[in-house]
Structure formats: structure tokens, C-alpha cells
Amino acid sequence: MTARRRLVRTPLADAVGVLLAGDLAPRLLDNFDFYELALASRVSRRWRTAAVRLEPRRLRHFMLTRATPLKVAQLGARLDAFNDFATSDLTREAQRIDDPVADRMLQLHLNALNLHIVDSGTTSAASYAAFIEYIAETGFSPGRVLIVAVQDELDKWNAAFQGKEYFCGDLDAQPLRGGGRDYPASGMLVSVCSSNCARRHLVSVTRHTWKIVVVDAGAARASDMFGTFRGESLLFSIKTDARHIFSRSQHASGAERIPRGVFARPKAYLLDLEEAVFRLRFMRESYLHTQVEGEDCREFWRATDTPEQRYLRWLVQGDFSRRLIADAHAVRVPM
């Protein structure tokens, strides 16, 4: 019969216990990077508490050091610089339109900012009609507005503009004359088309210079709406003075596969990374192409098949999606 051993507490064991119950975890985790902290946070409640305290200081360093070879962090820094400039330069005047959402659209438009509008319902179309009505009636230079919407969003646009003198229906009903060079002598003219209708009139659409181009992707991907040529969305081939994107607040393209760890929190608004990058480029193309010192911003980072790279990709995906609803160009429609 095997003899039983009696465990005896020793002074050394007591000392180790005191360390484990005290500040050993914070001192140890202080040497971990952001990704290692996320993994360590799953060890115990004490380690999780210590990791959370270190999280903010580690996040920026992690994204910078891991992304530097592929320029993700540098792009984020440029977008931050642009947003800081746009926010500081944003002049806020007295409210001109009773509808506060329409007035926000007007303020951004007057400051030469493109718009990204997120709406959980359909009221944004009526607000946008009020915005167009204002600029049509207050002496803005004449022009045409093209609204290209996915099929599920067309009804709200047709209802919003129904009965307006400047509403032209779609391009099948009223195509552009003169091969696309069909400019009004005064006021605004608005056309609402499905993406298929706009593609049928591709030649005239891309020859014309529009006052505003609106892309309503609903819960879908705006980058898929108008077709591509040599890998580039044809939406970029439409010449316009201003670009506005509408989106549903619940978006299908960014279905979350949340990495494990305390830092992997659900996102309020999430697009897939390529779609988020497309929208940022679409609204800020001139800035990105003139301020990046010749760097080709169209070749964005792709994740490799390692847990750490997938975690980084998820972080960048959330960061870029957040910019679309939080930066100077954002318009949130109350529920």
C-alpha cells in the first residue's frame, strides 16, 4: 500500500502565494504586447483585471508595429489627420432647415465634405429630399443629382421625391440627352435609379459631370453595386462634385467572427474590411491621392492565416468601420 504524503505549508509557499495574490500579474503582463495581453486575459479573473488596465497603452503600439510593413497604421494616421483638419475647419452656422438631419447634411455640404449616412429605417430619404429642396431653392449653381440605390431601397427614394417638379424618375424614363451632356439652365434635377438601370446608361452616366452622386447600398456592399473594370469599381468613373453614401445600421457584409479574448468586443457598426476601405476611398479619394506622397493606397493589407494576423485584421476592420459613423463626414439618423 502506497503511503500517503502529508503536505506542509512552508514559508516559501506562503511567500509565493502572497506574490500571486498581489501585484505579480501586473508586473508580468507589463512585458506583454496587446495580442499577448488578450490571450493572457483568459487565464483568470486577476489576470483579466490587470490586462484591461494595460489595454489602451498597448493597442496603438500593437497596430503600429504589426502593420508598419503593410502601411495600415500610416493610412489610419492620415485619416486621423484629415478628420482633425475637417473637424477644426467645420463652420457651424445657425440652423437653416427645420429637419435637424437635413440641416446636418447641409452643413457638411457647405463645408465641402462628402457624407456617410447611417439609418435604421427610411426617414433619411425624406431628410435628404429636404436638403435637396433647400439647395435647389436658394441659388446654388444648377446641376443634376444621381441617386443609385439597391432594389430594396428604391421605394423610399421614389416616395421622398414623388410630386417634386425637379424629380425626373429613373434614366430609363428620362435618359440624359446629348450623350450625357444634359445640364439644366437653373435649379436641380434628381434622377433615382437602380444599379442595373445606371449600368444600362453607363456611357451617358460617366460622360456627365453630376452635382451630387448618391449611393444607397442599404445592407449590402456599395463596392459591388455598379460593376468593376480591371478590379476597380465603376463608381469611381462617375464624375461628380460630391459623393454621398447611405447605409443601413445593421449591415450584412461585416458579420462578426469575434476573436476570443477580453478585448474582442462586439462592434456597433461593422463592415468587412474591403468595403470599409472602399467607402473611405470613395468619399476621400482626392485627399488620399494627394496626401500620401505617391503611395498606392489601393493595395491594402490582407490578413494571413495566423491567429495574430486575424486578430489585427479584426481590429482594423472595426477601426475603419467606426470612422464611417464617427468622423466629420458622418450623419447618424435617430431611430
pLDDT digits (tens, 9 = 90+) for 180-198: 778 888 889 999 999 999 9
Please choose, from the candidates 115, 83, 88, 84, the residue with its C-alpha nearest in 3D space to the C-alpha of residue 101.
115
Contact between 242 and 114 (Cβ < 8 Å): yes
Indicate whether 286 belongs to any domain. Answer: yes
Per-residue pLDDT, averaged over 87-114, amounts to 88
Indicate whether 6 belongs to any domain. Answer: no
98 or 40: whose pLDDT is higher? 98
311 or 258: whose pLDDT is higher? 311
257 and 327 fall within a common domain? yes
Per-residue pLDDT, averaged over 14-32, amounts to 71
CB atoms within 10 A of CB 129: 20
DSSP 3-state of 192 = strand
Please report which confidence band the pLDDT of residue 297 belongs to, taking 50, 70 and 90 as the band edges.
Answer: very low
Indicate whether 3 belongs to any domain. Answer: no
**What residues contact residue 207 under an 8 Å CB cut-off, 6+ apart?**
179, 180, 181
101 and 220 fall within a common domain? yes
CATH number at residue 156: 3.40.50.300
pLDDT digits (tens, 9 = 90+) for 51-61: 888 887 777 77
DSSP 3-state of 246 = strand
Distances (CA, A) of 177 to 96, 129, 218: 35, 24, 30
The CA-based dihedral angle spanning residues 214, 217, 222, 226, taken in that order and rounded to the nearest 10 degrees: -70
pLDDT of 301 > 60? The answer is no
Lowest-pLDDT choice from 59-68, 175-184, 292-301 = 292-301
Q: How far apart are CA 164 and CA 153, in angstroms?
A: 19
CB atoms within 10 A of CB 19: 12
DSSP 3-state of 249 = coil
Pairing type for strands 330-332 and 115-119 reads parallel
82 and 15 fall within a common domain? no
The model's pTM is 0.81
The pLDDT score that the predictor gives to residue 332 is 87
Name 213's bridge partners. Answer: 146, 243
Indicate whether 5 belongs to any domain. Answer: no
Please report which confidence band the pLDDT of residue 163 belongs to, taking 50, 70 and 90 as the band edges.
Answer: very high
92 and 142 fall within a common domain? yes
Structural domain containing residue 46: 11-62
Q: What is the DSSP string of 55-95?
A: HHHHHHHHHHHHHGGGTHHHHHHHHHHHHHHHHHH---PPP
Q: How far apart are CA 29 and CA 17, in angstroms?
A: 18
154 and 277 fall within a common domain? yes
The pLDDT score that the predictor gives to residue 80 is 85
pLDDT of 89 > 90? The answer is no
147 and 229 fall within a common domain? yes
145 or 3: whose pLDDT is higher? 145
The pLDDT score that the predictor gives to residue 260 is 62
43 and 135 fall within a common domain? no
Most confident listed range (26-40, 77-91, 94-108)? 94-108
The pLDDT score that the predictor gives to residue 1 is 52
List, in sequence order, every beta strand (DSSP E) within 208-271. Answer: 209-210, 212-216, 228-229, 232-233, 239-240, 243-248
Please report which confidence band the pLDDT of residue 204 belongs to, taking 50, 70 and 90 as the band edges.
Answer: very high
99 and 231 fall within a common domain? yes
pLDDT of 81 > 80? The answer is yes
234 and 144 fall within a common domain? yes
Average pLDDT, the chain: 82
The pLDDT score that the predictor gives to residue 199 is 94
80 and 150 fall within a common domain? yes
264 and 133 fall within a common domain? yes
Indicate whether 2 belongs to any domain. Answer: no
Residue where a domain terminates, one of 40, 62, 84: 62
Residue 191 grid coordinates? 434622377
Q: How far apart are CA 283 and CA 324, in angstroms?
A: 10
Domain count, the chain: 2
85 and 198 fall within a common domain? yes
pLDDT of 111 > 70? The answer is yes
Residue type, 233: S
